[in-house]
């Protein structure tokens, strides 16, 4: 995803280092178990009048949680990186989030930040089709029937490489889907910039809409891929038990540490003396890997 972002940013004449930094940091605030973990953490926090938002949590990590310098809290990141962390995928309301006032919430983010959600979709939509096929959770005929743009390219590949094994034909078709999405994002964004007569960062910030976008035709193809993945992979019955287990593990551990704060690591116990305990427990869980949180669950909650 970082490489996609660099490539697209370079083709548009943008700051490739900023685009790569935002691509690398954009998943920083995600908790274990991905969206299932995020859902469970947000539900647990809501019970205490709080919220869990992975963008805001990522900003919390780099501005406050990670302490690397004696002179100031947080990491020594530029304003544009910190702004992009929270604004790459979501427009926050200034009235609702006064604590984010310094981040120009009434303005659009730079194009480098606007690209991140779109390049992320290119990366994970194609990667998840590949992963689902490799794991035998998605059949080739199923993908061909459910993803029209893939079917179109697969037919093309069959004519060019009729003797190739199905897996190599699959790879070639998926590569063409990837190139179509990335190429369209570059071409359409260039066109939108020209149409809007945007020449400076100030123009980008002042524009009424985000300017980085797919064309309407390719946006529909992107939606079709995403809907197919949601219907056939992310919410497939074969994964339902795993998602339920993930939410249960997060919820039960959250409740355990609220009742037993002395079981938290010493650093988090100290933080609990300065901030609300639910927020500290949330911080601890959100920073875990899938493997580590399962270990903690087996230690504290199972048996």
12 inside domain: yes
d(CA 210, CA 196): 11
pLDDT at position 66: 64
User: Is pLDDT larger for residue 181 or for residue 287?
Assistant: 181
pLDDT band at 86 (very low <50, low <70, confident <90, very high): confident
Answer yes or no: do 59 and 132 share one domain: no
Last residue within a domain, chosen from 235, 256, 287: 235
Answer yes or no: do 213 and 268 share one domain: no
For range 117-144, the mean pLDDT: 93
Among 168-172, 216-220, 268-272, the range scoring the smallest mean pLDDT is 268-272
Answer yes or no: do 180 and 205 share one domain: yes
Per-residue pLDDT tens digits for 100-119: 888 888 889 999 999 998 99
Q: What is the pTM of this model?
A: 0.85
d(CA 39, CA 224): 24
User: How many C-beta atoms lie closer than 10 Å to residue 272's C-beta?
Assistant: 20
41 inside domain: no
Per-residue pLDDT tens digits for 42-53: 999 999 999 988
Residues 8 and 19: beta-carbon distance below 8 Å? yes
For range 123-134, the mean pLDDT: 94
Tokens coding 137: 């959770």
Answer yes or no: do 137 and 213 share one domain: yes
277 inside domain: yes
Average predicted confidence (pLDDT) for the chain: 90
44 inside domain: no
Answer yes or no: do 266 and 165 share one domain: no
Does residue 184 have a pLDDT over 70? yes
Answer yes or no: do 207 and 126 share one domain: yes
pLDDT band at 303 (very low <50, low <70, confident <90, very high): low
d(CA 162, CA 168): 11
Tokens coding 292: 């580590």
* 116-119 contact pairs (CB < 8 A, 24+): 116/5, 116/19, 116/22, 116/23, 116/26, 116/84, 116/88, 116/89, 117/88, 117/89, 118/185, 118/212, 118/213, 118/214, 119/1, 119/4, 119/5, 119/8, 119/23, 119/182, 119/185
Does residue 75 have a pLDDT over 70? yes
Answer yes or no: do 21 and 91 share one domain: yes
User: Is pLDDT larger for residue 98 or for residue 178?
Assistant: 178
For range 163-187, the mean pLDDT: 96
d(CA 90, CA 226): 19
159 inside domain: yes
pLDDT at position 267: 87
d(CA 66, CA 171): 41
For range 9-35, the mean pLDDT: 88
Per-residue pLDDT tens digits for 231-288: 998 877 776 778 888 999 999 999 999 999 999 999 889 888 888 999 999 999 998 9
Does residue 28 have a pLDDT over 80? no
Number of domains within the chain: 3
Does residue 99 have a pLDDT over 90? no
d(CA 212, CA 204): 10
For range 173-192, the mean pLDDT: 97
Tell me what percent of the residues of the chain surpass a pLDDT of 70: 97
Last residue within a domain, chosen from 216, 235, 254: 235
Answer yes or no: do 269 and 199 share one domain: no
108 inside domain: no
Answer yes or no: do 230 and 246 share one domain: no
Among 5-19, 160-174, 262-276, the range scoring the smallest mean pLDDT is 262-276
String of b and e for 20-53 (b: at least 16 CB within 10 Å)?
bbbbebbebbbbbbeebbbbbbbebbeeeeeebb
Does residue 148 have a pLDDT over 70? yes
Answer yes or no: do 222 and 268 share one domain: no
117 inside domain: yes
Domain coverage including residue 204: 113-235
Answer yes or no: do 277 and 229 share one domain: no
User: Is pLDDT larger for residue 298 or for residue 66?
Assistant: 298
Residues 180 and 149: beta-carbon distance below 8 Å? yes
Answer yes or no: do 225 and 271 share one domain: no
38 inside domain: no
Last residue within a domain, chosen from 235, 253, 273: 235
């Amino acid at each position: 995803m970082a490489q996609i972002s660099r490539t697209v940013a370079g083709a548009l004449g943008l700051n490739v280092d900023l685009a790569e930094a935002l691509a690398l940091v954009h998943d920083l605030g995600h908790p274990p178990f991905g969206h299932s973990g995020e859902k469970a953490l947000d539900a647990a926090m809501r019970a205490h009048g709080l919220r869990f938002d992975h963008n805001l949590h990522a900003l919390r990590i780099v501005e406050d949680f990670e302490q690397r310098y004696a002179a100031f809290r947080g990491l020594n990141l530029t304003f544009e990186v910190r702004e992009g962390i929270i604004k790459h995928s979501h427009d926050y309301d200034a009235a609702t989030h006064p604590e984010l006032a310094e981040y120009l919430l009434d303005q659009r983010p730079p194009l480098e930040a606007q690209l991140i959600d779109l390049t992320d979709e290119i990366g994970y939509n194609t990667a998840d089709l590949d992963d689902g096929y490799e794991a035998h959770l998605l059949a080739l005929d199923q993908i061909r029937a459910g993803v029209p743009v893939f079917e179109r390219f697969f037919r093309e590949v069959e004519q060019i490489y009729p003797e190739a094994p199905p897996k190599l034909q699959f790879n070639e078709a998926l590569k063409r889907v990837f190139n179509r999405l990335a190429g369209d994002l570059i071409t359409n964004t260039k066109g939108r910039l020209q149409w809007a007569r945007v020449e400076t960062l100030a123009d980008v910030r002042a524009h009424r809409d985000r300017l980085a976008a797919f064309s309407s035709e390719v946006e529909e193809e992107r939606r079709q891929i995403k809907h197919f993945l949601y219907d056939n992979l992310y919410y497939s019955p074969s994964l339902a038990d795993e998602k339920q287990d993930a939410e249960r593990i997060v919820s039960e551990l959250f409740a355990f540490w609220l009742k037993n704060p002395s079981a938290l690591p010493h650093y988090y116990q100290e933080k609990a003396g300065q901030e609300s305990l639910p927020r500290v427990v949330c911080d601890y869980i959100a920073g875990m890997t899938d493997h580590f949180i399962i270990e903690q669950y087996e230690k504290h909650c199972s048996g």
